[in-house]
Amino acid sequence: MLQQKSDFPILSQKNKLTYLDSAATSLKPQAVIDAMDEYYTSYSANIHRGLYPLSERASAEYEETRQVIADFIGARSEDEIIFTRNATESVNLVAYSYGREHVQKGDEIVTTVIEHHANFVPWQQLAFGTGADFKVIDITDQGDLNIFDKNGKLQLQDVITPKTKIFACNYVSNVLGTVQPVKDIIKAVRAINPEVIILIDAAQAVPHLEVNVQDLDCDFLVFSAHKMCGPTGVGVLWGRQDLLENMSPFLFGGDMINEVHIDKSVWATVPHKFEAGTPDIAGVIGLKAAVKYLQDVGLEKISKHEDELASYTREKLHEAFGNALSIVGEYSRLPHVGVVAFTIRGCHPHDIAGILAEEQICIRAGFHCAMPLHTRLGAKATSRASFYMYSTKEDADLFVSKLKNAYSVLT
Amino acid sequence: MSIYQELILDHYHSPHNSGVLQKYDADVSVANSSCGDKLRITLKVRQEKITDIAFTGEGCAISIAAASMLTDEVKGKDLEAVTGMTKDDVLKLLNIQLTPTRLRCALLPLEGISKAILSLKSTML
């Protein structure tokens, strides 16, 4: 065990929960719940307005999170951090504010078939709305993006062209569990067309890996607080400051303006220009506690722990189900995080998840918001177990043993 | 109590009315978008009664068992009586408690049969 289950109150309840759905949302440690509780019980005032101490403190805690996030992902300035509702909203913000102003008919928007719908549908709709071409990078049967030649060298000439305006790609696949070589991909994209705007969906990466936006050399990066021990309701958009400054607001209203007149309004500076209305103050403060928690545990330890657990689980699954089992993305050459999505011949994923649910084992069944990927794999749906720092070998053993029961019930 | 009762599993492993009717008056397909399950239902009608019905498709144990039981149930019934069937009638047949997510699986066959009857009515008009 890497992290005490007792840090996570939901796991210490009598219900003997085996939680293997951390890729959907992570559990929340007491430290995060406490930080949010403290806001609500001790200083729950609105931010950026009040002149009294409660409000000053709320503003300070909220803004401090911006700095913490900037440091956490290696941003040049805290002004490059924008708080949204979730990663999905972050992508939409870019698709609307940047996309609608810069993408025209005949341009190309490039993404991949392994994206979560959050990083697929906004681009698809932007393409449909502007008349741009929507290009989707395919995968090999092993689940790797089809952009490598037989020596493993990146080949993007067929994909990225002088017409490419936007390239959007995930860092870690939420189904295959594979870590894309995003730094190399970005370099290869820039070598072909330095003007391409690159957005990285890091929702499945930030909870497990060290992410550094300057090292990656992307233009935008998005993630969600709730997958990294933080609360639901908060997402992050990081963007290069010069881009953000030249973008129009996404939402209009309070807190995003400097001046409002009957005949015109003047926007606030970045990042406030993109944070209209009262934000999820408690959630943002909770995110700060989550980052501290992750740093205290150590991301390197977290990913090593998950990798070991996922490898162990894959091995046990093969032992138990032989050739009836298929784990998607297993034979990829890329490194994996703690995600194991699979099918077992003769067992419908809903039934597997349903039978395990009766034993308080939580796994996910369905498309995991990645329908284009499932269509490409020819899988109607998959079951997915995903691990995090609080997952244990006992969890994996119980999962495999109850899965065997499910198999005998269903076949 | 598990929802995977013997009765459900029996119907799942050997579904009744499985296949496609050679001659039919209605032929519809329905899908559950959350898991990709699909059902195709064909049925035959004489004098406002369902005289024969069959289904094919892929689904979880709950949706297949529900299709098996429901097609048994509606065979020989007046169209009007079948149109009036509700979620509670399906749950009574299955004799289990379902969570909202699994309820969608159980109700897919009823959705299909209702759609088939509706298509029939519009062709008759």
**pLDDT 10s digits, A283-338:** 999 999 999 999 999 999 999 999 999 999 999 999 999 999 999 999 998 999 99
Q: Which chain A residue lies closest to B14 (C-alpha atoms)?
A: A411
Question: Which of A239, A265, A295 is the C-terminal boundary of a domain?
Answer: A295
Partners of residue B57 on adjacent β-strands: B39
Residues of A in contact with B62 (CB under 8 A): 350-351, 354
Closest alpha carbon to B112 in B62, B35, B61, B53: B53
Closest alpha carbon to B107 in B50, B63, B57, B53: B63
| Residue A3 binned pLDDT confidence (cut-offs 50, 70, 90) | low
Contact, A410 vs A345, CB < 8 A? no
Q: Are residues A331 and A373 in the same domain?
A: yes
Identity at B3, one-letter amino acid code: I
Interface residue B57 vs chain A (CB under 8 A): no
Q: Are residues A359 and A289 in the same domain?
A: no
* Residue B99 pLDDT: 87
**Would you call A369 a catalytic residue per the annotation?**
yes
Residues of A in contact with B4 (CB under 8 A): 351, 354-355, 358, 409-410
CA distance A30 to chain B (A): 29
Mean pLDDT across A60-85: 98
Helix (H) / strand (E) element for A307: namely helix A299-321
Residue B117 has pLDDT above 60, yes or no: yes
Number of domains in chain A: 2
Residue A1 has pLDDT above 70, yes or no: no
* Residue B124 pLDDT: 64
Q: What contacts A343, CB < 8 A, 6 or more positions away?
A: A325, A326, A328, A349, A379, A382, A383
Question: Which of A266, A295, A324 is the C-terminal boundary of a domain?
Answer: A295
Determine the Cα–Cα distance for residues A177 and B114; give it in Å rounded to an integer.
Answer: 41
Q: Which chain A residue lies closest to B104 (C-alpha atoms)?
A: A350
| Residue B32 binned pLDDT confidence (cut-offs 50, 70, 90) | confident
Determine the Cα–Cα distance for residues A87 and A193; give it in Å rounded to an integer.
Answer: 26
Contact at CB, A350 and B36, closer than 8 angstroms? no
Helix axes A30-42, A281-297, angle to 10 degrees: 150
Domain that holds residue A167: 33-295
**pLDDT 10s digits, A30-56:** 999 999 999 999 999 999 888 899 999
Contact at CB, A348 and B4, closer than 8 angstroms? no
Interface residue B120 vs chain A (CB under 8 A): no
Cα A213 to chain centroid, rounded:
15
CA distance B55 to chain A (A): 18
Count CB pairs under 8 A between chains A and B.
Answer: 49
Mean pLDDT across B47-73: 95
Task: Evaluate the omega torsion of the peptide bond into residue A271 and state whether it is cis, within 30 degrees of 0.
Answer: yes
**pLDDT 10s digits, A340-377:** 999 999 999 999 999 999 999 999 999 999 999 999 99
Q: Which of B2, B9, B105 sits opposite A350 (nearest CB)?
A: B105
Q: Which of B2, B34, B60 sits opposite A348 (nearest CB)?
A: B60
Q: Are residues A18 and A43 in the same domain?
A: no
Query: Would you state the structure tokens that stand for residue A114, as one six-digit string?
Result: 């392994």
Least confident interval from A156-170, A228-242, B32-46: B32-46
Residues of B in contact with A348 (CB under 8 A): 35, 37, 58-61
Question: Which of A247, A273, A295 is the C-terminal boundary of a domain?
Answer: A295
CATH number for the domain that contains residue A341:
3.90.1150.10
Query: Would you state the structure tokens that stand for residue B71, as one six-digit string?
Result: 């097609």
Q: Which of A354, A366, A409 sits opposite B34 (nearest CB)?
A: A366
**pLDDT 10s digits, B63-95:** 999 999 999 999 999 999 999 999 999 999 999
Q: Are residues A404 and A304 in the same domain?
A: yes
Least confident interval from A64-68, A154-158, A234-238: A154-158
Interface residue B81 vs chain A (CB under 8 A): no
| Residue A379 binned pLDDT confidence (cut-offs 50, 70, 90) | confident
Interface residue B67 vs chain A (CB under 8 A): no
Q: What is the DSSP string of A171-206?
A: SB-TTT-BB--HHHHHHHHHHH-TT-EEEEE-TTTT
Mean pLDDT across B16-42: 92
Residues of B in contact with A347 (CB under 8 A): none
Q: Are residues A182 and A282 in the same domain?
A: yes
So what CATH class is B6-120?
alpha beta
Q: Are residues A180 and A324 in the same domain?
A: no
User: What burial class does residue A106 get, using C-beta atoms within 10 Å of its C-beta: 0-12 exposed, 13-18 middle, 19+ buried?
Assistant: exposed
Residue B1 has pLDDT above 80, yes or no: no
Q: Which of A350, A358, A410 sits opposite B2 (nearest CB)?
A: A358
| Residue A16 binned pLDDT confidence (cut-offs 50, 70, 90) | confident
* Sign of the torsion formed by the C-alpha atoms of B116, B118, B119 and B124: positive
Domain ranges across chain B:
6-120
Q: Are residues A18 and A164 in the same domain?
A: no
Q: Are residues A363 and A287 in the same domain?
A: no
* Residue A50 pLDDT: 82
Contact, B28 vs B67, CB < 8 A? no
Q: Which chain B residue lies closest to A405 (C-alpha atoms)?
A: B4
Contact, A32 vs A293, CB < 8 A? yes
Q: Which of A351, A358, A367 sits opposite B60 (nearest CB)?
A: A351
Contact, B58 vs A380, CB < 8 A? yes
